[in-house]
A and B are shown apart, each in its own frame.
Chain A
Amino acid sequence: MIELIRTLTETYGPAGNETRIRQVLRDMVKGKVDELKVDALGNLIALRKGKGGRKVMLAAHMDEIGIVVNYVDEKGFLRFSALGGVFPHTLLGNRVEFENGVVGVIGVEKLESPDKVPTFDKLYIDVGAESREDCPVKVGDIGVFSRPLIAQGQRLIAKAFDDRIGCAVLVKLLEEIGDCEHDLYIVFTVQEELGLRGAVTSAYGIAPDVGIAVDVTRTGDTPEAPKMAVALGKGPAVKVKDARMISHPGVRQALIRAAEQNGIPYQLEVLEGGTTDAAAIQLTREGIPTGVISIPCRYIHTPSEMVDLRDVENAVRLLLAYLSSKELTE
């Protein structure tokens, strides 16, 4: 499982430019599904046929946050802006890599007050170029955090667990699920970090009976963390509410029942900020009963996100248990 997760987190795939990560995912799931297609926005949609049950959409987004180059100066330094929720304090001393493999260091101009976090206009990227002409990165190129995965006991540290860890859960699900009553539409969505855009179109196209997103959620278990009753290692979280949606009560209850009947540890999630693909899936067409399984994750949207492997494995078990039931809502 760790190797699967490593491959997924270390692969390049910023929002809007998911070609590479999509190829990796396609190779992982082909042979395990009945149909495989890519829609106009780039969502990878895998269908595993069931035995006449419900149409279930399971979504994890494959895009990651990044930075987009908006200017290259005559000395070859790059100026950039955020692609998705990237914050300057996570960039200092950091490295980014581009699709062509070039790595850049984030530099900071001389600051008037060094005790304040600089704004984007004080930051630049240095790829070691000597001139604009010589620079191997051009305007419009997108960089992502450059970090390898580290496994330390049960804790994993990497970039882009948001939401490659959700992708890993769905890949693992396909490996482990045997016969299933339901038609499973496994969707690796694009552009979640730009506003759930891939989920909007893929859910419209599929028109599922039930939607489940698998994504990360914040925890309240770090020093001085804002209050939140979710901790690393205590099981996947069943979402009740986030900033944009309230999970369908029947789906939420069915997930809880699946966990309790199978002795799978779980937590209940009430998240004050942020949302997931589920918020978009829920509003598709005439409305879709939708829920979320969240992997607790510290330091989201930094180059060093942290999850607990047991939570990831239990999320797979929880999905298997949930999907083994005939009734997917209570």
Chain B
Amino acid sequence: MNTFEVLKKLSEAPGVAGNESGVSQIVAEEFKKYVDELRTDALGNVIGLKKGTGPSSRRIMLAAHMDEIGLMVSEIEKGFIRFTTVGGIDDRILLGQEVIVHGLKPLPGIIASKPPHLLSPEERKKVTPKDQLFVDVGLPEEEVKALVRVGDFISFAAKCVRLQGDMASGKAFDDRASVAALVCCLEHLSQMKHRWDVYAVATSQEEMGLRGAVVSAYGIAPDLAIAIDVGFGDSLGLSDAETIKVGKGPAIAIGPNFHPALRETLVKIAQELEIPYQTEAIPGPSGTDAWAIQVSREGVPTALLSIPLRYMHTPVETLSLKDIERTGLLLAHFISRLEKFPPE
């Protein structure tokens, strides 16, 4: 697969938490090439099953969330659109963004506020809070009211761009970079033998509190699970302790959320195949789908791979395409070697 092309398609599709239908179509198209069965559940999770050769029918669940953070119409005031946030939106990045308002039809709009000349000295010192911002779609009040309703979703309109080297930048790489890694893994697996049944899940509503992972894990009842999400990439102003390095491979997480033997097996395979990897210590709740999956039903041994990502929760999230490919490769080799777990 062309990693950038897949990432670009995924990234640019709208899919704010709670309404993932835009991106889930693209995920379904990509999964369909490799899986035996495909379904969408009541919360909108896209679940692909690639059957193993057996003899037992043990199941591994791979989870990467396809929802993105975004906005929602809360009120229409004189033709301008007031909004609330869906997921962890940073007020600092809102002003000046291009967005799409998903009304009766998609409407391009921009996020605006007062010009700086007219701010009070106090206001100038502060980030403009979201309740003083609004979306302007350029239509008169009556037309806005005819096309847009309270509760309509608003997504960022940022394009996915190729930077120098193998770097790319765009919106919703959190966590569609990991969905791209799932596609990459499935592609590898289509050329490999594997005994276990593989459930590739593009989860919904992670940004609303891991909600898609809760129900999809219950439904699949996996014997093992690996969540794939993004980790804080190195950039200015952050210490080494807070970050993992972009371009140095996925991080294999260590901490109470992760099963030690599962983690060690991933490390061993990465070492053997000389796939670059890093270690990320997460001492408490990981805030990823892994946190929900681990306590599904009677408990699931769970691991987490993190793709290093700069500028998380902005429309200019930035990463290395190689890190996506390495994540997919590591997952595929792990799965093809799976026999017993825990290993003896």
Contact = CB atoms under 8 A, between A and B. Distances in A.
A252 B149 CA distance: 13
A155 interface: no
A218 interface: no
A229, A282, A289 pick with most chain B CB within 10 angstroms: A229
A269 B72 CA distance: 11
A286 B219 contact: yes
B74 A244 contact: no
Contacts of B42: 248, 286-289
Contacts of A270: 72-74, 84, 150-151
B43 A268 contact: no
B75 A286 contact: no
B150 A282 contact: no
A322 to B, nearest CB: 17
B19 interface: yes
Interface in B163-214: 205, 208-209, 211, 214
Binding site secondary structure of chain B: mixed
Interface in A224-250: 226-229, 240-241, 244-246, 248-249
A246 B41 contact: no
Contacts of A177: none
A122 interface: no
A239 B149 CA distance: 13
Interface in A270-312: 270, 272, 282-289
A285 B42 CA distance: 11
B86 interface: yes
B73 A246 contact: no
B215 A286 contact: yes
A283 B150 contact: no
A252 B151 CA distance: 11
Contact of B131 (A227, A246, A248): A227
Contact of B218 (A245, A267, A268, A286): A286
A248 B42 CA distance: 8
Interface residues of B, number: 28
Contacts of B82: 227
Nearest to B211: A283
Contacts of A241: 18, 72, 84, 86, 151
B101 interface: no
B309 interface: no
Given A229-B150, A249-B19, A270-B151, A285 B75 contact: no
B329 interface: no
Interface in B118-169: 131, 149-151
A224 B44 CA distance: 38
Contacts, number: 74
A248 B150 CA distance: 15
B43 A287 contact: yes
Interface residues of A, number: 26
A283 B214 CA distance: 7
From B74, B86, B216, B219, residue with most partner A Cβ within 10 Å: B74
A287 B72 CA distance: 23
Contacts of A283: 211, 214-215
Nearest to B131: A227
Given A240-B150, A270-B151, A282-B211, A287 B74 contact: no
B74 A228 contact: yes
A267 B151 CA distance: 11
Contact of B151 (A220, A240, A272, A285): A240
Contact of A287 (B18, B209, B215): B215
A268 B43 CA distance: 21
B150 A285 contact: no
Nearest to B209: A244
A238 B51 CA distance: 42
A248 B40 CA distance: 14
A272 B18 CA distance: 15
B17 interface: yes
A282 B43 contact: yes
Given A227-B82, A268-B150, A286 B41 contact: yes
A120 to B, nearest CB: 28
Nearest to B82: A227
B208 A229 contact: no
13 contacts: A229-B76, A241-B72, A241-B84, A246-B208, A267-B150, A268-B149, A269-B151, A270-B72, A270-B150, A283-B214, A286-B216, A286-B218, A287-B215
The 9 closest A-B pairs by CB, nearest first: A246-B18, A240-B151, A287-B215, A286-B219, A287-B42, A268-B150, A287-B43, A229-B75, A268-B151
Given A229-B76, A244-B209, A267-B150, 20 more contacts: A227-B82, A227-B131, A229-B150, A241-B18, A246-B17, A246-B205, A246-B208, A252-B151, A270-B74, A270-B84, A270-B151, A272-B84, A283-B211, A285-B215, A285-B218, A286-B218, A286-B219, A287-B214, A287-B215, A287-B218
